[in-house]
Amino acid sequence: MPRALVDDPSYLERYLLPGTYRYWVTSLGPGGESQAAVIAVEVPFLFLPTATPAPTATPTPTRLPTLTPTASPTPTATVPSATAAPSAATPSVTPNPLGYATTYPTLTPTPGGADEVIMGLLSHRHFVDLVGDMHIVGEVRNETEENLDHITVRVMFYNRWGTVIQIVSSPALMDVVGPQRLTPFDLSFSEPPGWDHYTIRVTAQPTLRKLPIGLIVVEYRLWGLETGILHVTGRVRNDGLRAVDRAQVVATLYDPWGTVVNAGFVYTGRIRPGGEAEFDCQFVYYDLAESAAIQVELD
């Protein structure tokens, strides 16, 4: 998860999507780092009129309210501050680059153990395919210590004045993702008219489901760069004790700088124990693709 080290009793984070965010707050002292206090922030939806342009006046920036954890008999649940005393948190208004103000609510400490976590977005891009559909492809990482499933990618489109005009959501390509492991995503939809920019938020839930054991990608290669269709072909071996009716092979393409170019999946046939199956994942859009990563899981 992202971390921030601050020297005063407040912390400002910009450009949050509407939703619930949780912050783990600790203090640093001669004895080391304290136990974390959990702070929950609810960011509401903000819908602005589209008939008027953004105001020209820029409000004076202010800080977010002081993070004040629940009282504790030990100093381990206080916000890092050498001199400032805790005070009641109040809403503040912070300007953004589009010229309108976003109101942040009061920060209220809540118990930990939330069911929903936010995954780390590594890279993304968008393109329009041959039939005119828009794609947003990218990759996220599980930054927790648990397996995650129910991975949902949510994209919010805004017009030039910052008003939400459309929300698109879809599952990621991998069903279960282990700690520090990755999954790509590919959202395909009709391009929203009048959009100016978008934001991406990927959420998931901790799960007791296990990662598949025994499915191994034996080899793979990329070919066909000059033919108009890029092929990612290879073989999957089943080292498990049971036959697999079919496996899902997920391929992620990268450019020379490690940014996701495209992602897709294909299914194998039945694989008996000790047996192998071939796969061929094909891409029409593969601009600057140089390498690929292959993952496999049970269908």
Closest by alpha carbon to 154, among 181, 207, 128, 116? Answer: 116
Domain positions in the chain: 1-114, 117-206, 215-298
| pLDDT value of position 67 | 43
Q: Is the whole-model pTM more than 0.85?
A: no
Residues 6+ apart with CB under 8 A from 212: 240, 247, 296, 297, 298
Residues 6+ apart with CB under 8 A from 210: 147, 176
Number of C-beta neighbours around residue 269 at 10 A? 12
Torsion of CA 174, 178, 181, 186, to 10 degrees: 20
pLDDT in tens, the chain (299 residues): 456 666 667 777 655 666 666 677 777 777 667 767 767 776 665 443 444 444 444 444 444 444 444 444 444 443 344 333 333 333 333 333 333 333 333 333 333 345 899 999 999 999 999 899 999 999 999 999 999 999 999 999 999 999 999 999 999 999 999 999 999 999 999 999 999 999 999 999 999 998 888 899 999 999 998 888 999 999 999 999 999 999 999 999 999 999 999 999 999 999 999 999 999 999 999 999 999 999 999 87
Return the residue matching tokens 């008003």. Answer: 163
Residues 6+ apart with CB under 8 A from 288: 255, 256, 261
Same fold, 117-206 and 215-298: yes
3-state SS, the chain, equals CCCCCCCCCCCCCCCCCCEEEEEEECCEECCEECCCEEEEEEECCCCCCCCCCCCCCCCCCCCCCCCCCCCCCCHHHCCCCCCCCCCCCCCEEEECCCCCEEEECCCEECCCCCCCEECEEEEEEEEECCCCEEEEEEEEECCCCCCEEEEEEEEEEECCCCCEEEEEEEECCCCCECCCCEEEEEEEEECCCCCCEEEEEEEEEECCCCCCCCEEEEEEEEECCCCCCEEEEEEEEECCCCCECCEEEEEEEECCCCCEEEEEEEECCCECCCCEEEEEEEECCCCCCCEEEEEEEEC
| pLDDT value of position 247 | 93
Closest by alpha carbon to 286, among 254, 248, 244? Answer: 254
Architecture of domain 215-298: Sandwich (2.60)
Look at phi and psi of residue 232 and say left if phi exceeds 0, alpha if psi is from -120 to 50, else beta: beta
Separation of alpha carbons 65 and 18, rounded Å:
18
Q: Please check whether residue 279 is in contact with residue 233, taking contact to mean a CB–CB distance below 8 angstroms.
A: yes
Number of C-beta neighbours around residue 37 at 10 A? 22
C-alpha 53: how far from its chain's center?
A: 31
Superfamily per CATH, domain 117-206: Immunoglobulins (2.60.40.10)
Separation of alpha carbons 47 and 50, rounded Å:
9
3-state SS, 268-287, equals CCCECCCCEEEEEEEECCCC
